[in-house]
Structure 1
Amino acid sequence: MTSLHLGGGLADRSRWTPRECSIAKAMEAVGNRSAMLLIREAFYGTTRFDDFATRVGITQASAAARLKQLTELGIFARRPYQEPGQRTRYEYVLTPMGEALLPVAVALMKWGDEYLQDGKGGPVELLEESTDEPVDVAVRGASGRELSVDDITLRPGARYRRPRPESADPQPEG
């Protein structure tokens, strides 16, 4: 089985637990079907409440609850609009935090296209506007090289690393 390399004291998995896991926090925020489909619809250009509920296929009560939660998290922002002769209403637009979910949405779409569509491909394609070439997602290092799971080391994040003990014999500066 392929797995990440565990470094920085993580190799002994019995000595640590994934507290404060970012994946767990992200799944708590956007990890259910209606949340991801509302985000998908925002990427497709949907902004109006009724359109979100209809296009996602959920009740207005469910749409209201999820949009409220996603707005409170900072993924959506509410923006007022008013049709002539109508009361002021609100549309929902992605914030930069919401737009940062584009690679996640694309990765889920591509995974679903490959593994859940009976080998027939997905119902829609993502194409680069200027070239008409397919869009893809990949994990890349700072060098730009595409990485596989075997190329990646997992270690504690900077705020969770233990400070290194200072040397007993400090070296003079200068």
Structure 2
Amino acid sequence: MDARTAAAGQVCSVARTAALLADPWTVLVVRDLGRGVTRFDALAERLGVARTVLSRRLDGLVGDGVVERVDYREPGSRTRAEYRLTRRGRDLGVVLAALMDFGDRHLAGDAGPPVVRVHEHCGAPVRLVSVCAEGHRLGGDDRVRLVPGPGAPTGEQEPR
């Protein structure tokens, strides 16, 4: 059994999301689709990925409900496809933002991050924060406890 299949079969949201994203090419495809690069040729050129690899990744993302394939036709040309993130795919934006924040803090090097997310309205940098359902913003000293959720196997004990 390969790692993706093993991870997808676990009763764990982190493992299932890791299985969905599977490899770096998949993450980068989702990133670029989120940035508005929707056509196959543009994706292949921007990513520098083999067309066969890109085709397999897009097919997988379509099959997983992360991406939808939409046909278009420019005058005088054959019908082609472009790819768009579904609601499920757009929801991965926070996952990619978390990866970006980690990379900015730990992997950017002396030059700093290559891209900075800013709020379009005021120009201030955007950062991810954790907030509980009651609206309390969690800081570095706050503890979070994992408890069995509704999808936990029967008899599951609280994680340690």
* TM-score using structure 1 length: 0.78
Whole-Å separation in 2 of the counterparts to 1:128 and 1:157? 34
Is 1:111 the equivalent of 2:102? Answer: yes
The equivalent position to 1:40 in structure 2, one of 31, 34, 50, is: 31
Is 1:152 the equivalent of 2:144? Answer: yes
Larger RCO of the pair (alpha carbons < 8 Å, separation 6+): 1
Whole-Å separation in 2 of the counterparts to 1:159 and 1:105? 25
What is the alpha-carbon root mean square deviation over aligned residues?
1.9
Select the structure of larger CA radius of gyration: 1
Whole-Å separation in 2 of the counterparts to 1:156 and 1:63? 38
Whole-Å separation in 2 of the counterparts to 1:117 and 1:102? 20
1:133 matched to which residue of 2?
124
Deviations 1:18-73 (A, max 9, x none): 94111111111103100110011011110000111111221000000000000110
Deviations 1:93-118 (A, max 9, x none): 00000000111111111110110011
Is 1:21 the equivalent of 2:12? Answer: yes
Deviations 1:101-145 (A, max 9, x none): 111111111110110011432111111111111111122111222
Distance 1:69 1:127, change over 3 A: same
How many residues in Structure 1 have an aligned counterpart in Structure 2?
146
Question: Per-residue deviation at 1:149?
Answer: 7.7
Whole-Å separation in 2 of the counterparts to 1:119 and 1:156? 42
Distance 1:130 1:31, change over 3 A: same
User: Structure 1: 5+ residue runs without aligned partners?
Assistant: 1-17, 164-174
Whole-Å separation in 2 of the counterparts to 1:152 and 1:36? 27
Whole-Å separation in 1 of the counterparts to 2:30 and 2:154? 38
1:72 matched to which residue of 2?
63
User: Structure 2: 5+ residue runs without aligned partners?
Assistant: 1-8, 156-160
Whole-Å separation in 1 of the counterparts to 2:50 and 2:141? 40
Whole-Å separation in 2 of the counterparts to 1:76 and 1:92? 6
Greater shift after overlay, 136-145 or 21-30?
Answer: 136-145
Identity within the alignment, %? 35
Is 1:87 the equivalent of 2:78? Answer: yes
Whole-Å separation in 1 of the counterparts to 2:78 and 2:39? 14
Q: Is the 2:10–2:16 contact (alpha carbons within 8 Å) kept by the matching residues of 1? A: no
1:121 matched to which residue of 2?
112
* TM-score using structure 2 length: 0.84
Deviation beyond 6 Å, 4+ runs, structure 1: none
Question: Per-residue deviation at 1:160?
Answer: 2.7
* One-letter amino acid of the counterpart of residue 82, structure 2: E
1:51 matched to which residue of 2?
42
Whole-Å separation in 2 of the counterparts to 1:116 and 1:162? 41
